Chains A and B, each alone.
Chain A
Amino acid sequence: EVQLVESGGGLVQPGGSLKLSCVASGFTFSDHIMDWVRQAPGKGLEWIGRGRNKVKSYTTEYAASVRGRFTISRDDSKSSLYLQMNSLEVEDTALYYCVRLHESSGYYYSDSWGQGTLVTVSA
């Protein structure tokens, strides 16, 4: 069974930093591209970034809202994905999901989601 377990969320002051972790199990983590998606309280889903696998040269992509402040990394030996968040703003308050990408017939989609870790940015 595929499992994604996020951790590291919490309360942080504006301007502070936080590092989220996602530990994967039940599949070969190194084969998959992974995303971070967030959801502010009572709001919709926002794609914030991607960490590609070795085949894709471990490249990363970010949404404009977090580019330059957030950094995605991964450690395939630990089946783990990370999100380093710096210069946090009140608007970054959200539930952060770790998401696995899958490809079938040339189409990519998010087929497995963790339960999320809550980040609250407040003074």
Chain B
Amino acid sequence: DIQVTQSPSSLSASVRDRVTITCRASQSIGNSLNWYQQRPGKAPRLLIYGASSLQSGVPSRFSGSGSGTDFTLTISSLQPEDFATYFCQQAYITRWAFGQGTKVEIK
């Protein structure tokens, strides 16, 4: 199975900071990498699919990049509602796997 490793596991940032989260796959997955946001007590919400395509309704401050094994989620200017946990997901082969998550906390 393909594993995905996220880093960092947590970070502290301030409003309007630029935040970057990385995800590395254990083998090449092309662009089959999705990103999700999960706020406390809520179900996950899709942000980015196909490594770089923004889901409808998601603010443009969110962007994704990368291909092969290395991927990045960037929040260009962190807003109060962005403090949450973010997960990457490989969707290349059937048995999908999530990264461990990155908790974005207020500095």
Binding site for B on A (CB under 8 A): 35, 44-47, 50, 61, 63-64, 97, 104-111, 113-116
Q: Give the one of B1, B43, B55, B101 with max A CB within 10 A.
A: B43
Contact B34 A110 (CB under 8 A): yes
Q: CA separation between A8 and B61, bound complex, in Å? A: 38
Mark the stretch among B10-18, B19-27, B68-76, B92-100 that contacts chain A: B92-100
Min CB distance A63 to B, Å, is 6
Contacts of B97 in A (CB 8 A): 47
Total contacts A-B at CB 8 Å: 63
Q: CA separation between A107 and B34, bound complex, in Å? A: 9
Contact A116 B101 (CB under 8 A): no
Prevailing SS type, chain A contact patch: strand
Contacts of B91 in A (CB 8 A): 107-109
Q: How many interface residues does B have (CB within 8 Å)? A: 25
Q: CA separation between A114 and B45, bound complex, in Å? A: 11
Q: CA separation between A31 and B32, bound complex, in Å? A: 21
Contacts of A106 in B (CB 8 A): 50
Q: A44-B87, A50-B94 are in contact. Are A113 and B50 (CB under 8 A)?
A: no
Contact A116 B43 (CB under 8 A): yes
Q: CA separation between A113 and B34, bound complex, in Å? A: 15
